[in-house]
Amino acid sequence: MAGDSLWGLEGSGTTDHLATMDELSASNGTFALTLLKKLGEDNSKNVFISPLSLSSALAMVLMGAKGNTAAQMCQTLSLNKSSGGGENVHQDFQNLLSEVNRTDTQYLLRTANRLFGEKTYDFLSSFKDACRVFYQAEMEELDFVSASEESRNHINTWVAEKTEDKIRDLLSANSVNPMTRLVLVNAIYFKGNWEKQFNKENTRERPFKVSEHIPRGSSQVSGPARAPKIQFKLQTVAVTLMGLDPTG
């Protein structure tokens, strides 16, 4: 990461959070569509992403950035379109994440953030405090220098717990090493029900075509004549940012 950076926060004002949340939602939407377009350039593959996971994780990185680095990150995240040039973005994310994690819903949607930092590295207390306040992200100290593999397994265990054991090996072998100083993790878990349930007795194996000319053997569910409204059964996503160097 090029440019000036500092793992701290020099201030976060508050404004009418309803208006600024609308602006943040618009920024997140722009970022999501731009990212999907980029990832979908190879249209032979399916793409499934959680834009909120990416934007909230990168916003924590942004909180420790200054100067040209901060300006470039705001541009990438489309936060330059928000009032104040992103000055209040962390307060806006706090409000958004609180709304996302509501418990008075008929579905289960949970997000979780965590910082895993090298125990010998001196992270600014202001940065750690701000991550905790705005993103509910606690800093946990690990020994990447002497116990990289154990640290990796520990992070994977945390992710598995937060995703109801759906994501077990987020970090592959050798993905962290003694040079790692910070691993920034976001996990999101969603579970809902179909508005119209499929009858198990009415399902059977049928050919599945990815196009009119390329049949592939796969499982296809035969449902009612009317297609149900689109509802997700379960999706999980976790994202990491590893080995960040706060000095360069």
2 CB burial (10 A radius; 0-12, 13-18, 19+): exposed
pLDDT for res 176: 94
Which of 203 and 243 is assigned the larger pLDDT? 203
Distance separating alpha carbons of residues 198 and 223, to the nearest angstrom? 6
Percent of the chain whose pLDDT exceeds 70: 72
Give per-residue pLDDT as tens, 205-214. Answer: 877 776 666 5
The structure's pTM equals 0.68
17-192+232-242 belongs to CATH 3.30.497.10: yes
Give per-residue pLDDT as tens, 4-40. Answer: 443 433 334 444 555 556 788 888 999 999 999 888 8
pLDDT for res 48: 84
Residue 216 pLDDT level (bands cut at 50, 70, 90): low
**Alpha carbon distances (Å) from 144 to 56, 161, 176:** 24, 21, 7
Give per-residue pLDDT as tens, 107-162. Answer: 888 888 999 999 999 999 999 999 999 999 999 999 999 999 999 999 999 999 98
pLDDT for res 123: 93
Which of 180 and 12 is assigned the larger pLDDT? 180
pLDDT for res 214: 58
Domain edges within the chain: 17-192+232-242
Give per-residue pLDDT as tens, 67-114. Answer: 899 889 999 999 864 443 445 889 889 988 888 888 888 888 888 899
pLDDT for res 157: 95
Which of 195 and 188 is assigned the larger pLDDT? 188
Crossing angle of the two packed helices 17-39 and 89-100, in degrees rounded to 10: 80
Asked if residue 73 lies in contact with residue 86, where contact means CB atoms within 8 angstroms, the answer is no
pLDDT for res 210: 67
